Amino acid sequence: MGTYTPDKTALPVGLDEAGLRLGLQRLPEEPLHKYRQRLLHEARDPADPSQSSYIRGVGRKIGALDLPVFDIELVLDADDVPLAPRPAVEVTSTYLRAYYDYDNELSDVEVFFEDRDNGWWLQDVLAAFAASAYFTATALDDYDQYLRSRNLRFDNTERYRMQFQLLGSYQNRLPHQNLVEIMFSDRSVFASEVDDVSLVAAEGDFFVDYVAGQVFTYSTAQGTCSYSYAELPYRMHWQSVSVVPLDDADLKFRHMDEQISDDTGELERSSLSPEGARVYNQVLAVHPLGWGE
Q: Which is nearer to another protein, 28 or 265 (CB)?
A: 28
Instruction: Count other C-beta atoms under 10 Å from residue 40's C-beta.
Output: 13
Q: Which is nearer to another protein, 127 or 139 (CB)?
A: 139
Only one of the segments 26-34, 166-174, 185-193, 285-293 lies at the binding site for another protein (rule: CB under 8 A); that segment is 26-34
Q: Which of 1, 162, 285, 289 contacts another protein by CB under 8 A?
A: 1
Residue 74 forms beta bridges with which residues? 135
User: Does residue 175 interact with another protein by CB under 8 A?
Assistant: no
Q: Which of 86, 71, 163, 150 is nearest to 114 (CA)?
A: 150
- Supply the minimum distance, in Å, between the C-beta of residue 236 and another protein: 11
User: Does residue 162 interact with another protein by CB under 8 A?
Assistant: no
Burial state string for 161-175 with b = 16 or more CB within 10 A and e = fewer than 16: eeeeebeeeeebebe
Q: Which is nearer to another protein, 9 or 264 (CB)?
A: 9
Q: Which of 61, 68, 83, 136 contacts another protein by CB under 8 A?
A: 68
Nearest-angstrom CA–CA distance, 93 and 149? 10
Secondary structure (DSSP) of 205-267? EEEEETTTTEEEESSPP-SEEEEEEE--SEEEEE-SS----TT-GGGHHHHEEEEE-TTT-SE
User: Does residue 10 interact with another protein by CB under 8 A?
Assistant: yes
Of the chain, the end-to-end C-alpha distance in Å amounts to 63
Rg, C-alpha atoms of the chain: 25
User: Does residue 80 interact with another protein by CB under 8 A?
Assistant: no
Mask of contacts with another protein, 227-266, x by CB under 8 A?
--------x-------------------------------
Nearest-angstrom CA–CA distance, 100 and 176? 19
Q: Which is nearer to another protein, 18 or 199 (CB)?
A: 18
User: Does residue 37 interact with another protein by CB under 8 A?
Assistant: yes
Residues of this chain that interact with another protein (CB under 8 A) are 1-11, 13-15, 17-18, 26, 31-33, 35-37, 39-41, 43-45, 65, 68, 235
